[in-house]
Amino acid sequence: MTNKAVYDALVKKFRAHFGREPHVVAYAPGRVEVLGNHTDYNEGFVLSAAISLGTFFAVAKSTSMTCRLVAGDLMREVTFNAEDVAPSSSDTWQNYVNGTFAGLADLKPPAHGFDAMFLGNIPLGSGLSSSAALEMSAGIAFAKLYNIATDAVMLAKIGQRAEHVYAGCKCGLLDQISSLAGQENKLIKTDFRSVTYETVGMGPDACFLMCNTHAKHTLADGAYNRLRENCETAAAHFATVLRHPVNALRDVSMAEWAIYRQGLSETVANHAAHPIGENERVLKGAKLLSEGNLSGFGALMFDSHESSRVLFGNSCAELDAVVDAAKKIPGVLGARLSGGGFGGSAVVLVHSRDAETASAALASAYAATFNTPCEVSLVKPSAGACVVA
């Protein structure tokens, strides 16, 4: 469904279920990570973009302290008390909203409950961060409904805490910042040490193809957390052997990694090399974009995927097949996995004039390998989250 169709469907369902109009409707987009994989929690740099798919969240005040939350696609309702919010082991989709509400309630205790419903068009498990879109759309809607003053960084951190404490995934801030800070036709370059960001223009002749492999993409099962723990172990090692302060892998260069990796297991050393190299690729990539060098930028995307595949181990056969096919298709400039990895989507950089033929070629190559379709869609950097009504 288009965003307009999703909005209309949500308001209609809300009206039918609760018997009244929502007081606030907010929207937050998913995101595509273009360069800088697993660098956010290593205090590094990322180039990302908000996309044209997202989640709408509608909410109205309640006359009691009861909170009613409905997943609009399932039409399943859960309830909890506004003064007693806790993680749930059943209907775990609610934890992203519950955790966001709890974070805002810490800033200003709620005077009433709510009736709420959400609906989106981001394919679940696609690696486009449907979870952050839900958190940020809920956060913006709740902040408006309860008159809570916040800003992008504060709201992003509230969403991150919801992931950590309620959903059990030790994610960084990339997804939330990207959803909030997006701009049309621009990438977001974020420094996750200072948590500041700026936009970088893509130029008029560039777009992305998102190739959803439909391969399993679950990060709360421990794989993401183990990678993060290994990065932290490596940072602690380098802090003891380098002659300058090391607070995170952001502070280590590839040259230093090569010289001082002794003492780390091969697995931990390789896992550390990936975000260290990614940081350097992001900085180089931003410079290439400022010079209008799309081909050079695309080459860095290919390098990034190879690092994910060989060093970090967060790719999979389906994602590798998309990237391998992309290398052989005329008009494709670069390709890599997007997001946490282990499945989901690959992002492919193409000239706009080549998008249609490249889409068909990618879908055909994937079907020939796996006998199942790969969903390919055109994505352009889009505006970030906002109150809609």
Cα–Cα distance between 188 and 191 in angstroms, integer?
Answer: 10
Q: Please name every residue paired with 25 in a beta bridge, in sequence order, or none if there are none.
A: 58
Cα–Cα distance between 192 and 173 in angstroms, integer?
Answer: 8
DSSP state of 123: P
8 is catalytic: no
Cα–Cα distance between 132 and 96 in angstroms, integer?
Answer: 8
The structure tokens listed for 352 are 């706009």
The structure tokens listed for 202 are 């893509």
Cα–Cα distance between 335 and 322 in angstroms, integer?
Answer: 8
Cα–Cα distance between 189 and 231 in angstroms, integer?
Answer: 22
Residue-wise DSSP of 76-105: EEEEEETTB----SSSTTHHHHHHHHHHHH
Angle between helices 94-107 and 130-145 (to 10 degrees): 40
Number of C-beta neighbours around residue 215 at 10 A: 18
Angle between helices 152-161 and 174-181 (to 10 degrees): 140
The structure tokens listed for 42 are 């290593």
Give the strand order in the sheet containing 345-351: 332-337, 345-351, 206-212, 375-379
Per annotation, catalytic residue among 40, 84, 115, 175: 175
> Taking a C-beta distance cutoff of 8 angstroms, is the pair 70, 80 a contact?
no
Cα–Cα distance between 217 and 123 in angstroms, integer?
Answer: 11
Distances (CA, A) of 90 to 82, 166, 291, 315: 18, 12, 51, 29
293: left (phi over 0), alpha (psi -120 to 50) or beta: beta
| Cα end-to-end span (Å), the chain | 19
Distances (CA, A) of 167 to 218, 221, 224, 297: 11, 10, 13, 35
Where in the sequence numbering do the catalytic residues fall? Answer: 175
